[in-house]
């Protein structure tokens, strides 16, 4: 018995000494800002309390009223019921950076890209595509050619055209030119070219007039050239023609999947002609460009005020996660990915629920559904999947 005591005493003393040192040591300091993120990345086992559900609420920087409505309704209900509040963590997801381009000066209200219009060509017709003077124009094997474009400021298309074939004696082809709005199957404009009706020749193109409609800002369209007989098209790769964007009101883009009816998707990306257009409301455009500097100064000032309000709101409620993203609609996927990363690095949870700041969450119903569907295991996806069909 004495031998056992001799062996155990050093172990007991060592354990007691280790425990005493741990109790005397100060707890590890909580890092803040970038330092805290670094430590969390290095030591992911340091988690906060475990939650059954983490709710991420997507919110725009200026949606103060919507967030306050949530705080006074279903989030207030959560706070007032300790049994729920211990199981649920709710955080608003907000981009840390506001867009420094005023809404009036963006390519569209959902992005943060400057509408870069300089020296617009006003009060005259503009040929969208043109060939160089020394470029020979011969028939190719292409039977269908298409090109897509986006309107950055309202224009009016006045004519559709096809390239001139220098080897022809007169016009010997049958070609149909159609203009589609993106994701629409019905053509907006159609022009048909044939030997007895070839239109008017301008430079190296034949043009025919079409009914004139204003194509608004953000309009996306696709022009399709179809050869109606065995002869091909006089076509060019998109990079081998001159694109006349009118000073920045037009941009050529690549046709994406689904932008055209299926029968046109096998066409070669290029051009087999062009179109003529004019810029709509040129005086209003010039006025907008002249007022940009003043508008930018006011916008930057408003951003500083917004930053101060968000800082105060975050300090008051402690329910906001600022992710390193410019807060625009097109950056919503990036906001979510950054929030998911934050939840994995800083919290422990069973389920993650994403919602928007204009939605109401019935938390009791959520937990009832979890129990009913047995969603308390790993690797569950709970939501709606939308299946697309061609029928």
R_g over Cα of the chain? 32
For residue 228, give Cα distances in angstroms to 165, 188, 235, 261.
Answer: 16, 19, 15, 18
Nearest alpha-carbon partner for 104 in 241, 275, 260, 287: 287
Nearest alpha-carbon partner for 146 in 294, 261, 23, 314: 261
Tell me where in the chain the CATH 2.60.120 domain(s) lie.
Answer: 126-280
CA of residue 208 relative to chain centroid, distance: 37
pLDDT in tens, 365-381: 888 888 887 766 666 77
126-280: what fold? Jelly Rolls (2.60.120)
- The DSSP output letter for 256 is P
**Alpha helices (runs of H) in 248-331, residue ranges in sequence order:** 282-290, 292-317
Window from 62-76, 108-122, 319-333 with minimum mean pLDDT: 108-122
Supply φ then ψ for residue 283, to 5 degrees.
-65, -40
For residue 257, give Cα distances in angstroms to 82, 99, 182, 221, 261.
Answer: 50, 30, 10, 13, 9
pLDDT in tens, 154-183: 999 999 999 987 765 677 889 999 999 988
* Confidence band, pLDDT 50/70/90 cuts, at residue 134: low
Q: 350: number of CA atoms within 13 Å, CB side?
A: 12
Average pLDDT over residues 297-306: 97
Average pLDDT over residues 80-87: 90
Statement: residue 21 has pLDDT above 50 = no
Supply φ then ψ for residue 137, to 5 degrees.
-120, 105
pLDDT in tens, 90-112: 999 999 999 999 999 999 889 99
Average pLDDT, the chain: 81
- For residue 209, what pLDDT is reported? 96
pLDDT in tens, 1-20: 444 433 334 443 343 433 33
Distance of alpha carbon 190 from alpha carbon 178, whole angstroms: 5
């Amino acid at each position: 018995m004495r031998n056992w005591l001799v062996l155990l005493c050093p172990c007991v003393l060592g354990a007691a000494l280790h425990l005493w040192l741990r109790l005397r040591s100060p707890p590890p300091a909580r890092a803040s800002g970038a330092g805290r993120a670094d430590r969390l990345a290095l030591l992911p086992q340091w988690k906060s309390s475990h939650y059954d559900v983490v709710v991420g609420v997507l919110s725009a920087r200026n949606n103060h009223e919507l967030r306050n409505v949530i705080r006074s309704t279903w989030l207030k209900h959560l706070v007032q019921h300790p049994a729920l509040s211990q199981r649920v963590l709710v955080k608003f997801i907000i981009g840390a950076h506001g867009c420094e381009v005023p809404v009036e000066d963006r390519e569209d209200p959902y992005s943060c890209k400057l509408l870069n219009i300089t020296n617009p060509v006003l009060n005259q017709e503009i040929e969208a595509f043109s060939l160089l003077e020394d470029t020979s124009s011969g028939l190719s094997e292409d039977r269908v050619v298409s090109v897509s474009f986006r309107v950055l400021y309202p224009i009016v298309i006045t004519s559709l055209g096809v390239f001139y074939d220098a080897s022809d004696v007169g016009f010997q082809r049958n070609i149909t030119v159609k203009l589609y709005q993106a994701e629409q199957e019905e053509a907006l404009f159609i022009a048909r070219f044939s030997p007895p009706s070839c239109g008017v020749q301008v430079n190296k193109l034949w043009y025919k007039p079409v009914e004139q409609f204003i194509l608004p800002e953000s309009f996306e369209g696709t022009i399709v050239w179809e050869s109606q007989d065995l002869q091909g098209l006089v076509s060019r790769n998109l990079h081998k023609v001159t694109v006349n964007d009118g000073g920045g009101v037009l941009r050529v883009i690549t046709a994406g999947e689904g932008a055209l009816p299926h029968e046109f998707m096998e066409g070669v990306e290029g051009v087999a002609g062009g179109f003529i257009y004019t810029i709509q409301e040129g005086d209003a455009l010039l006025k907008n460009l002249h007022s940009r500097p003043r508008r930018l100064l006011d916008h930057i000032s408003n951003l500083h005020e917004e930053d101060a309000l968000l800082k105060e709101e975050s300090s008051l409620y402690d329910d906001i996660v600022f992710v390193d993203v410019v807060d625009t609609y097109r950056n919503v996927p990036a906001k979510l990915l950054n929030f998911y990363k934050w939840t994995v690095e800083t919290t422990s949870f069973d389920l993650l629920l994403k919602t928007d700041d204009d939605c109401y969450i019935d938390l009791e119903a959520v937990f009832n559904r979890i129990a009913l569907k047995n969603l308390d295991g790993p690797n569950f996806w709970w939501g709606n999947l939308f299946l697309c069909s061609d029928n």
